[in-house]
Amino acid sequence: MNDNLYELFRSRFPADPSRPFIETETGRVWSYGDLQDVSGHYARLLASLGVAKGDRVAVQVEKSPEAIFLYLACLRAGAVYLPLNTAYTRAEVEYFLGDAEPRVAVCRPDQETGFAELAARTGVAHVLSLGQDGEGSLPDRARDLDPDFATVPADADDLAAILYTSGTTGRSKGAMMSHRNLGSNALTLHRIWGWRPDDVLLHALPIFHTHGLFVATNCVLLNGTGMLFLPKFDLDRVFGLLDRASVMMGVPTFYTRLLTDPRLTPGACARMRLFISGSAPLLAETHRAFRERTGHAILERYGMTETGMNTSNPLDGERVPGTVGFPLPDVELRVVDEKTGAPLGPEEVGIIEVKGPNVFSGYWRMPEKTRQEFRDDGFFITGDVGKVDARGYVHIVGRAKDLVISGGFNVYPKEVETVVDAVEGVAESAVVGVPHPDFGEAVVAVVLAKPGAAGPTAEAVVAACKEQLANYKVPKSVVFVDELPRNAMGKVQKNLLRERYAGTFGG
């Protein structure tokens, strides 16, 4: 039996190879037949360059159908696909190449020279290029090769991909994902989200991250249907395609941006059956506003690079705003005391740990770090702080590293943010801890006002907090900003805020 993930996908491809797989914004369509041919060409080229089972192929390219074919070609060749965020600088890429030691690196055509230098320094044997419009030395060299390529057999535990963690805190680590990790999670999500034979996905996410690459694309591949593929999220383009799509997956900023547009109406969403959100917390208010405007309750789910998806609100049943739903059927989830590791009961806040076939195989070449993040009984310590409520819904309160300890008391930023967000005129807030001479750390609320609203005042924010929160949780400083710094997945970069406001109380 071949447990290669590509074989799982292939078993679900439509019988008719002319069925569409990807349609781009120009209206160009790539069929399932094209998928098999182009990924076959690429797999053959990789093999001819000596890429053998377990070899890494590092890829920093723009989003394109060919980039998806390259991912599939890597699976077919038994290689380990290693996508890199297009925003990474040369110095960052050098670290990844040195750390992962790929046999082949694929870059954007205009960066081939720079990559060749990096490759020479880091011992990468081959550099190829691939552009947004499918141009470059990879397609050029692959085009005339035989597309028939027998998928390299893989065991379920063999590596399929390495994804470097997004690094909102600390140095990026390479999360090793096996064929089993990716396949099991995709099958579970495909089932619980009730994919239908006529579903069409609107894909506007980046494809170097677990969300756009694995959650979105793998579900489509298992469904054997098509996706409308946008290079990035753009309101005009999304509204141009919404009436042809039935499923959309997005980060919370997609939804807040949709809400700013008068074109968001029930009519515009008439064909849609499911809006899914994840990768960062969706404000309960966004959930409610979206429902009011469109009639759709956004389905929020929670996962991370290392685990794929862990929880989801139900397809049938109440999708509770501000929660990430129930553990997936094959995922065990528990909340434990941060210090003792003892399991906690319902409503008690602690560290979330998970176990299941979705959980990664460890950090690339970091056995010590891997050991530290797993319990003896196999649970992975996510580092997310949360609770399970009396009805079994999981709530994420923040990251353990975001925890503020002020005067010896623990402050969970999410709790303060929820109060601040409810103040009249506040669009969103981010609460961080910064050094304070008396308290060790002090709570700072960074506030984004609603556009056009009469600005909320620091006094109003503090007053609301004083009314609802213990004194040590009340922000000692409230600052207003025009924008919160976010990474590519829409996550607020609290490390940047901590740096920016580090001097607020004189260090």
Residues 22-61 that bind ligand AMP (CB under 6 A): none
Stretch that binds ligand AMP, among 37-45, 140-148, 273-281, 436-444 (CB under 6 A): 273-281
Stretch that binds ligand AMP, among 272-280, 363-371, 405-413, 439-447 (CB under 6 A): 272-280
Regarding 281 and contact with ligand AMP (CB under 6 A), the answer is yes
Nearest approach, Cβ of residue 165 and ligand AMP (Å): 5
Per-position b or e across 255-269, b if 16+ CB within 10 A of its CB? bbbbeeeeebeeebb
Task: Give Cα 384 distance to the centre of its chain.
Answer: 15
Q: Would you say 199 or 300 has its CB closer to ligand AMP? A: 300
Regarding 285 and contact with ligand AMP (CB under 6 A), the answer is no
Q: Would you say 34 or 421 has its CB closer to ligand AMP? A: 421
Among 248, 280, 354, 431, binds ligand AMP (CB under 6 A): 280
Any idea what the Cα angle at residue 395 is, between residues 394 and 401, rounded to 5°?
120
CA atoms within 13 A on the CB side of 356: 24
Regarding 172 and contact with ligand AMP (CB under 6 A), the answer is no
Nearest approach, Cβ of residue 383 and ligand AMP (Å): 6
Regarding 183 and contact with ligand AMP (CB under 6 A), the answer is no
In the block, residue with structure tokens 């941060």: 338
CA atoms within 13 A on the CB side of 437: 5
Among 2, 24, 132, 165, binds ligand AMP (CB under 6 A): 165
Three state DSSP letters for 428-458 = EEEEEEEEECCCEEEEEEEEEECCCCCCCCH
Nearest approach, Cβ of residue 414 and ligand AMP (Å): 9
Q: Would you say 46 or 205 has its CB closer to ligand AMP? A: 205
Q: Would you say 381 or 481 has its CB closer to ligand AMP? A: 381
Nearest approach, Cβ of residue 382 and ligand AMP (Å): 6
Q: Would you say 21 or 164 has its CB closer to ligand AMP? A: 164
Q: Would you say 32 or 233 has its CB closer to ligand AMP? A: 233
Q: In sequence order, what are the beta bridge partners of 432?
A: 444
Q: Would you say 226 or 278 has its CB closer to ligand AMP? A: 278
The C-alpha atoms of residue 388 and residue 347 are separated, in whole angstroms, by 6
Q: Would you say 205 or 462 has its CB closer to ligand AMP? A: 205
Per-position b or e across 284-298, b if 16+ CB within 10 A of its CB? bbbbebbeebbebbb
Residues 299-328 that bind ligand AMP (CB under 6 A): 300, 302-305, 324
Question: Is the Cβ–Cβ distance between 286 and 260 less than 8 Å?
Answer: no
The C-alpha atoms of residue 114 and residue 60 are separated, in whole angstroms, by 13
Helix/strand/coil for 251: coil
Regarding 494 and contact with ligand AMP (CB under 6 A), the answer is no
Per-position b or e across 391-402, b if 16+ CB within 10 A of its CB? eebbbbbbbbeb
Task: Give Cα 392 distance to the centre of its chain.
Answer: 24
109 phi and psi angles, rounded to 5 deg: -55, -40
Residues 394-423 that bind ligand AMP (CB under 6 A): 396, 399
Residue ranges that bind ligand AMP, judged by CB under 6 A = 165-166, 210, 278-281, 300, 302-305, 324, 382, 384, 396, 399, 489
